[in-house]
Amino acid sequence: MPLPTKVKETAPAKINLSLHVTGRRSDGYHLLDSLVVFADCKERLQAEMRPGPSRLQVAGPRAAGVPCDGSNLILRAAALFEPDPGIAFDLYKTLPAAAGIGGGSSDAAAALRAVQRLGGAALPPMAQITALGADIPVCLSHQPQRMRGVGEQLEPIADLPDCAVLLVNPGVDVPTGAVFRSMACRENPAMVELLPSWRDFTEFAAWLAKQRNDMEAAALGLAPQIADVLAALRAQPGCALARMSGSGATCFGLFADLASAEAAAQGLSGQGWWVSAAPLLS
């Protein structure tokens, strides 16, 4: 069967339901233990084989300010394949950038999958992918996963209870490096070695409430608006848990079903925040 000349990929929002920072390596990379899921709100990436060097165009409601040169993770991901695969990428950008939900990393993972499908080549070595971005390996698959190490140790999580999230971003920039530098402690307990088997949403939410995002306190010190978002989420009927994702500033509310999350989204629609309700991908 001949290889395709044009493919489409999706890049869903990544959510750290928990994010434990457990140490720091001698090279400066932080060690993590995180329960990662993906929400069914996603960006779209089209990739087409064309003569010449690989290139990128960006459109969509969140396209402003997104670089289209070699600094973009999409083109940097494509450059891991040698020689240059010569692909025209078209990204439809819908997620806020640098917001703790892996927008750029998910886009880069989509580009890796697209180049693989177009060229029939194996993915680059995982060490190269991780060096490009610690969140990119986990974004290669959209299933729930436990992510450890510096992002390279991945374990699929089966039978996660059905639930939905409400994602809210207050529109403030919170640089990841600044959050790490502001952390009071970088050596915190990991999650339990063997994760439980949750019987239902209530049990899952109760267990998750005992976990942490170790970057949240530092991010709150840099962007107090995050506290307003968390308070607003916790005030919504049906919100079982509100927490920041990644290094922020996006926060999530966890709900038993999509209808409850969408109702809460309506309640927050007048704040001027980016708001999106979606089920979790299984």
Query: Residue 200 is part of a domain; what is its CATH number?
Result: 3.30.70.890
Instruction: Give the single-character DSSP code of 21.
Output: E
What is each CA distance from 243 to 14, 61, 72, in whole angstroms? 14, 25, 28
Does 135 lie in the same domain as 261?
no
Assigned domain for 171 exists: yes
pLDDT tens track for 57-116: 999 999 999 999 999 999 999 999 988 889 999 999 999 988 999 999 999 999 999 999
Give Cα 37 distance to the centre of its chain.
8
The number of helices, as runs of H, and strands, as runs of E, in the chain is: 9, 10
Assigned domain for 1 exists: no
Does 73 lie in the same domain as 89?
yes
14: annotated active-site residue: yes
Given the residues 33, 40, 107, 135, select the one marked as catalytic.
Answer: 135
pLDDT tens track for 162-214: 999 999 999 998 999 999 999 999 999 999 999 999 999 999 999 999 999 99
8: annotated active-site residue: no
> Integer distance in angstroms from the first to the last C-alpha of the chain?
30
- Which are the contacts of 206, defined by CB distance < 8 A and separation ≥ 6? none
Contact (Cβ atoms closer than 8 angstroms) between residue 242 and residue 230:
yes
| Domain edge (last residue) among 153, 180, 198 | 153
264: helix, strand or coil: helix
pLDDT tens track for 212-251: 999 999 999 999 999 999 999 999 999 999 999 999 999 9
The pLDDT value recorded for residue 28 is 86
Q: What is the count of structural domains for the chain?
A: 2
Does 13 lie in the same domain as 130?
yes
| Domain edge (last residue) among 153, 170, 193 | 153
Instruction: Give the single-character DSSP code of 73.
Output: H
| Domain edge (last residue) among 95, 119, 153 | 153
Q: CA 64, 266, 91 angle in degrees (round to 5)?
A: 25
**Residue with the two structure tokens 């089920």:** 279
- Confidence class of residue 282 from pLDDT cuts 50, 70 and 90? confident
- Confidence class of residue 1 from pLDDT cuts 50, 70 and 90? low
Assigned domain for 96 exists: yes
Give Cα 9 distance to the centre of its chain.
16
Does 274 lie in the same domain as 172?
yes
Query: Residue 22 is part of a domain; what is its CATH number?
Result: 3.30.230.10
Does 17 lie in the same domain as 44?
yes
Structural domain span for residue 220: 159-279
Assigned domain for 146 exists: yes
pTM: 0.95
- Ranking 108-112, 245-249, 256-260, 267-271 by mean pLDDT, the lowest is 267-271
Residue 141 has pLDDT above 80, yes or no: yes
